Structure 1
Amino acid sequence: MSPQAPLRIGLTGGIGSGKSTVAAMLAAHGAWVVDTDALARELTAPGGAALPAIAARFGADMIGPDGALDRARMRTRVFADPAAKAALEAILHPKIGALTEARAAAGAPGQVRVFDVPLLVESGRWRERVDRVLVVDASVETQLARVMQRSGWPESQVRAVIAAQASREARRAVADAVILNDGIDLDTLRAEVAVLWERWTRQAIA
């Protein structure tokens, strides 16, 4: 593959699947990782470019005392109101898209780009923007345990997030490869990532 057209990998998985761990492993292999969730947080951090439009649409009380989006309050709002969710997405998605491509362009010529996109399937726009889709999969029970342990959320809240995301079957349906990150240790996961990296990068330059 020429330096002008680096391999583009879309990485996705449900909450608690271990997607971020896999992204870090791909970065260790030399990939340039663009984390769209991190970009969303950047846009809604103090001084973030999305805050004026969010305040105008949802009210200034959606901005916390620290000057950032009150993410917990917004999460509650959009889970309860599909129209609010659509309005927030209409504000954020174009800005995230533009920032994603700008960050991708900052990688070295020919360097593999990995786009870490939690809602890759739900967006409906990513399949044609990448060469390969990698899904990190885990059982709902594993997702619950991981998220509750790391975040302290109650089980009902985690289940609500899982229910709002694409199903495991929907993610698998668009995948070029699936890593089942369930009941395996980090060394085994690292080995699976290495095998996939070797195969995809070899195919890209063939």
Structure 2
Amino acid sequence: MATRPQLAFSIGLTGGIGCGKSTVADMFAALGASIVDTDLIAHSLTAPHGAAMPALLAEFGADFATPDGALDRAKMRALVFSDAGARARLEAILHPRIRDATAAAAAIATGPYVIFVVPLLIESGTWRERVSRVLAIDCSEETQVARVMTRSALAADQVRAIMATQVTRAQRLAAADDVIVNDDGLEALRPQVERLHALYIAKATDRDKQE
């Protein structure tokens, strides 16, 4: 997607692994925001019979598929963590397809504003220009590690290796227009989400009036 999604007002929601991006996105969705989750799009592209699977198997070989025809994520993760060239080849296949699917989802969004959930928004270098504001979900690194170990059954050093491929917490916060702190559970999240939802509604309304 070479140009910004054709929406009057949009948010790029990002955060490090284990920060709670999906939880926060679900809360915004419950308030009426349209959510476009690039991770979910990537999963659909690499599911059994997913649109990206023929190109991926042609590039990496049939042994990168699971028995049901999905991408073997564990095997691909191990490869791209050790081989920057393989990562670039993977991204060359997935990223254009993700951009196209993201644009298609944004085009039919019906909420007062759209939130793009983009884990590597800051790292991508291009998303900042496509959205009106960047929202970072933040928590301590210790919380990140504990959540991912519980959720994904990974060892602490594996989680920290993933974190090391992402921008630092300080870099993410510096790039954000808005921040939600997710260290203290759902009840602490709710008022933060409600406050920003009201702000985004107001800004979306202002943008509509200007146009």
- Into which bin does the TM-score normalised by the smaller protein fall? over 0.9
CA apart distance, 1:172: 1.2
* 8 A contact 1:6–1:111 mirrored in 2: no
| SS of aligned partner of 2:137 | strand
Find the counterpart in structure 1 of residue 55 from structure 2: 53
Find the counterpart in structure 1 of residue 174 from structure 2: 173
Find the counterpart in structure 2 of residue 78 from structure 1: 80
Tell me the distance in 1 between the aligned counterparts of 2:180 and 2:7: 26
* 8 A contact 1:10–1:132 mirrored in 2: yes
Find the counterpart in structure 2 of residue 43 from structure 1: 45
Find the counterpart in structure 1 of residue 200 from structure 2: 200
* 8 A contact 1:6–1:113 mirrored in 2: no
Q: Percent identity?
A: 57
- Between 81-90 and 51-60, report the one with greater CA deviation: 51-60
Deviations 1:36-74 (A, max 9, x none): 001001000111111111111111111111100000000
Equivalent of residue 89 in structure 2, options 87, 90, 108: 87
Tell me the distance in 2 between the aligned counterparts of 1:5 and 1:155: 40
User: Which residue type is aligned with residue 84 of structure 2?
Assistant: P
CA apart distance, 1:144: 0.5
- Between 53-62 and 77-86, report the one with greater CA deviation: 53-62
Unaligned stretches of 5+ residues in structure 2 = 1-5, 207-211
Unaligned stretches of 5+ residues in structure 1 = none
Residues 1:20 and 2:59 are matched in the alignment? no
TM-score (norm 2): 0.92
- What CA RMSD, in Å, does the superposition of the two structures yield over aligned residues? 1.2
Deviations 1:115-154 (A, max 9, x none): 0001111111100100011000111100001111111111
User: Which residue type is aligned with residue 99 of structure 1?
Assistant: A
Find the counterpart in structure 2 of residue 131 from structure 1: 132
Tell me the distance in 1 between the aligned counterparts of 2:107 and 2:124: 21
